Every structure is written in C-alpha cells, then in structure tokens.
Structure 1
Amino acid sequence: MKTKKLNIAFFGSSLVSAYWNGAATYYRGIVRALNERGHRVTFYEPDAYDRQQNRDMEDPEWAKVVVYEATEEAVYKCLEQAAEADMVVKASGVGVFDELLEREVLKLQTDDRLVVFWDVDAPATLDRVHHNPQDPFLPLIPQYDMILTYGGGDPVINAYEALGAKKCVPIYNALDTATHFPVEPNERFACDLAFLGNRLPDREARVEEFFLKPAAATPDKKFIIGGSGWGDKHMSENVTYIGHVYTNDHNAFNCTPKAVLNISRESMARYGFSPATRVFEAAGAGACIITDYWEGIDFFFEPEKEILVAKSGAEVASILAELTEERATAIGEAAYRKVLAAHTYNHRAEQLEKLLYAKVEQQDEALA
C-alpha cells in the first residue's frame, strides 16, 4: 500500500487565483508537493468572485484544474467526476454551494475511497458551529474519515474531536520554494514596515492596533499596506496603500522593506498555532518579520533570532525604533534557514502522505 499513488479530487476556492482568496498559496504549495511525490490532483473551483478575471497563474502542469459554473447542476457534474478518485477533499470556504458540497461529498465515501474535510479557517468554523447548534455542518463532522486543518494546534484538535471528529490533524502552511524566494529589492516597496492582507472583519481591529497606530505614532518612518479593501480606511500620511498585490510581486514586497508585519486574524490569534501563509512566504524571501503575538510562535520560529514578536502597537513602534538594517538582515537570514530546514510544503506533503497511508492500512485491516 505504501507505494500506491493517489488520485485526489479537491474542492476548493481557487488554485489559479489569489484574488479574495488567501488560501491560494497554501493550496498551491500542498498540491504541487503532492504531485512531486507522484499523486494526481484534480482541483475543482467555482467561477465566482471575479477570481477567474483576476488569475495570477495559468493552469499548472502539476494539477488538473476544473473551473465550474456557480450552479447546482455544475456542482453535481463535478461530484460525478470526483467519484473516480481514491480520495475526495472538501475544503472550507469554497464560496458557493459549501453546504451542498459538504453534504454530498460524503455520499462518495466507500471502503476504498476516503472523504476528508480540509478546514483552512478552523477557528472561524468552530466559532460558527459553537454559536449555532442548528448549523448543518455540525452533524457531518463525525462522518468524515478525517478533518485536516490549516493550523490551530491542540485547541483546534480538541475542539473538533469534542464535536465527534474521528481524527483531526493540522497540516500547517509552509513555504512553497518554487514560488517564494529572495529576489532583488524593488523601490516601489521600499519602506520601514510593510503589511499585506485583505480587509476582513476579524482582522481590521488588529490592523488598526498593530499597523496603523504605530504608523501614526512614528511619522518619521514610512509604511506600506497592500491587500484588497483598504481604500477608504483612514491612514496617517506616512502610510501608502498599494491595493491588491499579485503573487508574482510578493517576493519583492517581502524582500524590500526593512521589516514586514504579520497580523493574525482575531480568531487565529485566539486559538494559536496558526501561522499565516504570509509568515512562511516572507521567511522564504529572507524578510525580517515582526509578528503580533500568538500561542505557539516558538513551535515554528525562535523569537528574537528568527522572528520579532510584538504584543501591542506600541511594541511594534518600539521594535522599529531600535531595528538596524544589520539586525533586520540577520533575522531574515535566520528565518530563511529555518523555513528551508523544517517548513516547506514538501515537509507537509510527507506528513500528509504518512497520515493517509496509515488511514488506508487501518481500513484494509478492518476489512480483512
């Protein structure tokens, strides 16, 4: 069994567009790494939210991409095709017909076919079902062969297992070395501190605290914010808003500033053990990262040596005041070494492969 290569059907938001789709680089890293290990992935994504009009890549060689119309009929057609797979994955936050997909993929479950729910925003999902006992996803949780998550550590594992999950395992995001790496600086992104992230309800207050507040308090320093939705947000004059930053500009965005800022969404920070994809992307470009505090940072990077940690906007301002170019470079280089050694998508794909083989062998033994 350990040599069997899997045919995987994957229902997600989008593989080819990062537009209003923060999980894109996570999907790309995981899917590419699985392909490099010999597995075949068909990625089903809806034509929704103008993502296809804002693609940042062509269909890749390492996955088959099926873009379907945002209609029930098209969803059922894709489900029929998925019945040929060895494993079916339904990711959270597809964006259209999520409830239908979460229910219907379970009908594809057989003794030979695993059906997995892959939660790329577990804190938000758990908060939602805890606040609504009538949530249609709640009774489905125990039916999946496995729940995989984008992060969350023990708090998320314990929460999912308390809801009846057979098994819950975090597959942390990581560095896609084919996409994110050091490049030459680009003057367009030159500043003391840069932040990249879309404007979302459970991120906005933390962006105000950790980015906009220190920017207003240090008018002698230059700040850049990228991502969708910030256009009408009040900002001090030393902040430049550059809008959506396409994936092919991420390396220069991370390499050029003296430091880049990671700001967790509120739910991610509360559960902990949920480093954003941006942390690994920035480390892979050799950036000096300042992150807001969350439980489990030292599981990934060593504070003060490989990453700088701030518990408030005032601490961000204080770190910036003392940060020299030499120290920023040393921290970025240390983060780069760490991410290559322990946090690439090949590391994650190897973990996932072992997990899946163990699950399949367990099923085979049960049937014997």
Structure 2
Amino acid sequence: MLKNRVFVNAYESLSCAGNTQELMNAIYAKESGITIDTSYMPHNRAGLGSFAPNAFFSSLVTVTQEVLNKSNLDDFSTTLLIVGSSVGGIGKSEQIFFREHSYKNINPKEHAISVISDTLNRAFGFKDSRSISTACTSSANAIMLAQRLINIGAYENVLVVGADALCYTTVCGFYALGVLSDEQCTPFQKERKGMNVAEGIAAVLLQGTRTDESVELLGSAGSSDAFHMTNPDPEAGGAISCMQKAIEDAGIMPTDIDYVNAHGTGTQANDAVEALAVETLFAHSPYMSSTKAITGHTLGAAGALEAIIACEVIKAQRIAPQTSLTEAENTRVNLPIEAVEKKVRYVISNSFAFGGNNTALVFGALK
C-alpha cells in the first residue's frame, strides 16, 4: 500500500540549555545546562536540568506559539495535537499537598497527563487531541503515531508536544532507584554515576506536504523486551529489534545510517545495552552520541526533543559530539568527542523506557 510521506516542517523547544538555537549552540560547544541542586533532597546533591521556576505551563504555550509562527498554518484548527508526557500535572498536585498536607484540594483533571493537552487546547483550539504516557518513550511514540496517521491520510497536520516538568516524584523516584548522578551525567563513560533528571518542552509539527526547510520522517518502530520493570534486556534484543524495524520502515539499510542519536542516559544498564545494540546492528560503525549531558533526561519530552536535535544535525550536516567523555566503556562504538562536519543523509534517534519499552525514529535529508 502506498503511504503518504511525512515531513517535519517546524519545531521549537525549551530545556535547561535554552531554546532550540541555544541548545544546538550548547551541544556543539559542549556546554551543559545541568546544575547541582539540593532543593529536592536537602541532604543529597542531584544534577538536574531546569528552566525558570513555575514557568512550565506558560512555557508550553510560548513554545507552541513559536511553532505556529514558523509554520505555514494560520491556526491549529485543522491540526491534531498528540502529547507525550511522563508526569503530566503531578507537580501541581505536589505543590498543593506540601502546602496543605492534604489531598482534598487536588484536582484530578490537573493531575493527569491530559492537563497538558487541555492547556494547549484552551490556548489554540486544536481539531482534536490525544495524550500518550509510556515513560521515557512518550513523545517518541507520539511521533510514531503521528507518522502512521499522516501515512494513511487521516490527518494532514499533526503537532506532537513532548513535555515534562521537574517534580519530587521523578527526582526522588530515580534517587530511590540508585540511578541519579550528583553531578553532570557522563553517557558511555567507563566510570559513570547515573542520570540527570530534567524538564523540557519540545513541539514538532509533522505534515503531509514538504517545504524548503523540511526534514523527512522516514520510519519508526517500537518493541518491548519486557525483561525487567526498570532494566533493559542485557543482550539488547529489544533495542536491536526496534532499530532494525525502524530502518526497514524507512526503506533503507543499516549501512545507510550516518548518525545515531543515542538514548544514552548515563546509567550503567542503559548505556551498556545501547552500545551493544549499536555495535551489533551497525557493522559500519556510524557516529553515535547522547546529548543528555547537555539537556539532562527530559523523560517524556526526550523523544521529541531529540527528534529536533536529529533534524538540526541533518540541516547543519554536523555530527553532535559526546560531551564529558574521557574513557569510553565500549570502544567498539564510534563516539566523537568533538563535532564532525560530514554528509549526513540518515539519522536514527533512540528512546528507551522502563519495562523494555523501545522506540526508534529515522529521519532523512530531502531528496
């Protein structure tokens, strides 16, 4: 069956490294937005990524307005909104509980994942909306769903918004799991401490028609190895399968991939398995790096944020370096410590989550 092509035509983001332009400058300069924080856990340091206090919901509207301004649309009345988020409005509920020491005044509608789509619907009036919560693959899965809907002609315009705010639930939860670093994370480093929890917003407009600035979303796929509640399959079966299927969906070969935008959280389990998966699937050893040493792990927003980074790498024809790497654990994968100028045709962007939930997206330069 013939499928409609899918194009990334406009986007904007906000993270601890700033907006999209500021983010890309920081990535290539290897300047991290992570700060050391003790406000969530007074007796423990944590490397976190944050922007202005209490600015999350206003920033959602600002970032989305920027995408509309950059688009070929007058408004979003013909656009489907798909939100990917891990925590939704949990931060609001926490504030009420800590202030009042009671659950009584917590509004369930402002606690749920859908509070993000409700906020954006009030501001922009989308044709319809959906919300997806699959932990750290949330917005990557939202992009995959958008691709499928445009492929079959169900929608011409889909806006994917990945968004998660910092909150006690995530910061303390990852600390309890023993995977939270007390300094800037060091993905793929031999001696690494863990991840940095961060907040982020990323909005990506996907359409069935191309523009001069388009990057094509060629393929996507998901898998679930269901090995463990939090740890991935140590043999990397799910990660390999996911990437392989995304490449097949794109209609290309593994040898065509020029750059792997890695999930690369800086935890022991994730980095070892992802490096093994890349080493196994890509015999030609494409460049690979994780940008989470700059942005931190933005949880449900990570897939959309890193889709933007993948598109920017293609537009710049410049590989993102691996920040904070001095001694790689796996020396058989190609981790550049400085930016690399080269022809970039195809990029694969990985998102991996708890429960062995894996998603990969393949982007390509226009032909």
Q: TM-score, normalised by structure 2?
A: 0.25
Larger radius of gyration: 1
Q: TM-score, normalised by structure 1?
A: 0.25
Structure having the larger proportion of residues in helix: 1
